[in-house]
Structures are given as C-alpha cells and as structure tokens.
Amino acid sequence: MEQGTAHPARARAGIGGATLEREALAVEIQFTTRIFKEGRTYGAHAFELDVSSCGGTKEKAIKNLKQAVSLFLEEADKLGTLDQILEEAGYSKDKRKLAPPKFISVQRMSPPLPLTNA
C-alpha cells in the first residue's frame, strides 16, 4: 500500500470544533492507497475515504485518484458534509494539518465460507 496526498482547492474542515480554512492555505490530506490490476487497467483506492479511480498505468491511476479525492472533498464541502466525512473516516486535526487514522495492521484474511449452492 502507498501513501497518497490530495490538495483540495477550496475546502473547510472542522474536527473537534476547530475550523481550518483552506481557501487561502493549501492543506494536504494523507490517505492509504491500494493499487490493483484488472486486465490491462490499474485501479487505485483511497482506503480511508473509500474513493477509487483507474488508469492505463499505475502512475495514471494514482494521479486520477488524487484528482478524484480532491473533487470528492470539494463537493462534500459544498454540500456541508465534509466535517462529518472526515470525522467518520477517522481524521483528526493535528496542529495545522489533518492527521489520518493510524492503522495497527492491514491483513489479507481468508475465512471459510459455507456455500450451499456451489
């Protein structure tokens, strides 16, 4: 997994009652990125925000994901839901930046599934 960063152009985030204006100040938001390949297309997924994009190369998928995250956050701000989205995703305000949730581990799991119609 990789770390991604997006720069929302005009967004406001208030975590824990503090409001951070980002119109005059660009603020970075970090997120964990999963990269996968399906056929000839690369997919990129921002784990914390549940936003995905794709591209013909790994680099293009990451670039498209950063743009998708920025657009997602801008639209959430316009709708008035940005604070709630960031809080539910586990972000917190740490000094003058948004701190992402800290993962203890990320694991691939394989529980047995009882299939009755297989």
User: Tell me, what's the pLDDT at 57?
Assistant: 97
Structure token digits, residue 42: 């690369």
pLDDT band per the 50, 70, 90 thresholds, residue 1:
low
Residues 54-98: tens digit of each pLDDT = 999 999 999 999 999 999 999 998 999 998 999 999 998 766 678
- Work out the number of other CB atoms within 10 angstroms of the CB of residue 85: 17
Residues 9-20: tens digit of each pLDDT = 333 333 322 333
Would the pLDDT of 46 be above 70? yes
User: Tell me, what's the pLDDT at 7?
Assistant: 47
- List the beta strands (DSSP E) in the chain: 2-6, 12-15, 18-21, 29-38, 41-46, 51-55, 92-94, 97-99
Distance between CA atoms of 91 and 93, rounded to whole angstroms?
Answer: 7
Residues 91-118: tens digit of each pLDDT = 987 666 788 888 888 888 999 988 887 6
